[in-house]
Structure 1
Amino acid sequence: MKLTFLGTRGEIEKRTRRHRMHTSLMVSYRDADVMIDCGLDWLGKFERLHPKAIVLTHAHPDHAWGLRNGAPCPVHAPQKTWQSLTRCRIEDRHLIKERTPTKICGITFEAFSVEHSILAPAVGYRVSAGRASVFYVPDLVFIHDRAAALKNVQIYIGDGATVMRSFIRRRDKALIGHSPVRTQLTWCEKEGVPQAIVTHCGSEIVTGDEDKLSAKLRVIASERGVDMRIAYDGMKLKL
């Protein structure tokens, strides 16, 4: 299985050469390329990547609005995401049921519910092919059934909207927003995940001193027995 980080920028105005495009991941296995998320930056552009399928984590603009004019391939998403995308001209729609492993182009996707947004309920995906298994969750407060989601996962790919400070807010009884990278590294420690990659980068990373932040995070990760890096647009990884 090969991973290509097509985009690593969160829903912020600033962008750099390293973090230019909205967060998206291409998962490649054998002769198939499956794209996870297709935000507004990808409108009119993603077609040149020729994905055989697209999988969505949720319906926020930076994750799904690149599909407003439709898609030339099947699109897979949970029911709550489809309910928010009624205006997108997607003809070949497929439903992903949470906690039900679904094979798409030879790659297995299992959706786990996560807290993030009331208006755009989100999931993270356990993605497996061959002997490789990763968990991909670009936006979250926490993972429901985290132990099952991260069991025997080689790499956790998580939310870089905030590095140290919490961006979590309470709305009625729900929690919305983003957990800091520091907290996500602790989850990896508790669940025995050896590697972590930060994507969906926020202002701290995109406009700050990324080298200094990365070094600081590597120390925090090392204290938890985790190898960690910050992804950038175009980064490739083979498992």
Structure 2
Amino acid sequence: MKLTFLGTRGYIDPTTSRHRRHTSTLVSYRRRRLMIDCGEDWRQKVHDIRPHAILITHAHPDHAFGLQEGSPCPVWATAESWQAMDDWPIEKEQRHVLDKRQKTDIEGMQVEAFPVIHSTRAPAVGYRITAGRVKIFYVPDVVWIEDRNEAFADISCYVGDGASIDENLVRRDKHGNLVGHTPVRTQLTWCQKEGVPRMIVTHCGSQIVAGDERKVGAKLRAYAEERGVDAEVATDGMEVVLR
């Protein structure tokens, strides 16, 4: 399995050459390409990626609005996300509903959607993806993962939410529901508890994008070493091969 981090920036104003485009990742296996998320700054550029299929984690602008003018390939999303994308000009035969906790074969890879807490307006999922012997879990926006022990079982890499390294961005909405983003520090603890050896940080927030790269890197390494996890921040264009 090869991961190509097409974009790694969250829904923030700051940009750099290393974090320029909205978060999207291409998962490649046996010449098939599965694109996860297609935010608004991928509009009209998604055709250049030539994915065989697109997965949507949730229908926020930086994860789905690149499809508002249509899609070059089949799109897979949960029923809740399709409700938000219902009037977009995506051909009927290209629309596929992905049931939660149902293992589904997409382009030769097994995909399973796990509900996560992030937003009440745009319910989100994370994806457990299996390609051959390699298993990963991918979730760019998260407060909490339901059935985390099953989501993380026997995975070699967790690709998680980089909105914050250690600042608390979790809050309650007017109905008392938790929303927002859990810090990387806490996500590394999840990896420690579930025996996941590696974390790659994407969907980077201002603490990473606008911060001092050396200081941010040192802080991340310290948190990771304390928990016995290898960790790194993804950058636009970065490629990682997992075996």
Verify same fold: TM over 0.5. yes
2-side partners of 1:87 and 1:231: how far apart? Answer: 33
Q: 2:241 maps to which residue?
A: 238
Code of the residue aligned with 1:110 in structure 2: it is E
Q: 1:41 offset after TM fit, Å?
A: 0.8
1-side partners of 2:211 and 2:176: how far apart? Answer: 34
Task: Answer yes or no: is 1:104 the counterpart of 2:109.
Answer: no
Deviations 1:88-146 (A, max 9, x none): 21111001111111110101111000000011000000011011111000001010111
Q: 1:87 offset after TM fit, Å?
A: 2.6
Deviations 1:129-173 (A, max 9, x none): 011111000001010111110011110100001111111111213
Code of the residue aligned with 2:19 in structure 1: it is H
The more displaced of 167-176 and 185-194 is 167-176
Task: Answer yes or no: is 1:51 the counterpart of 2:54.
Answer: no
2-side partners of 1:60 and 1:132: how far apart? Answer: 29
2-side partners of 1:57 and 1:93: how far apart? Answer: 15
Code of the residue aligned with 1:179 in structure 2: it is T
User: Which ranges of 4 or more aligned residues in structure 1 deviate by more than 4 Å?
Assistant: none
TM-score, reference length from structure 2: 0.97
Gaps of 5+ in 1: none
Write out aligned runs for 1:144-159 (5 A). Answer: 144-159=146-161
Deviations 1:159-209 (A, max 9, x none): 001111111111213100000010000000000000001000000110111
Q: How many residues align?
A: 239
Task: Answer yes or no: is 1:187 the counterpart of 2:190.
Answer: yes
Q: 2:76 maps to which residue?
A: 76
Q: 2:26 maps to which residue?
A: 26
TM-score, reference length from structure 1: 0.99
Supply the RMSD in Å over aligned alpha carbons: 0.7
Q: 1:210 offset after TM fit, Å?
A: 1.8
Task: Answer yes or no: is 1:9 the counterpart of 2:12.
Answer: no
Task: Answer yes or no: is 1:205 the counterpart of 2:205.
Answer: no
Q: 1:13 offset after TM fit, Å?
A: 1.1
Gaps of 5+ in 2: none
Identity %: 57
2-side partners of 1:158 and 1:85: how far apart? Answer: 24
2-side partners of 1:13 and 1:90: how far apart? Answer: 29
Q: 2:124 maps to which residue?
A: 122
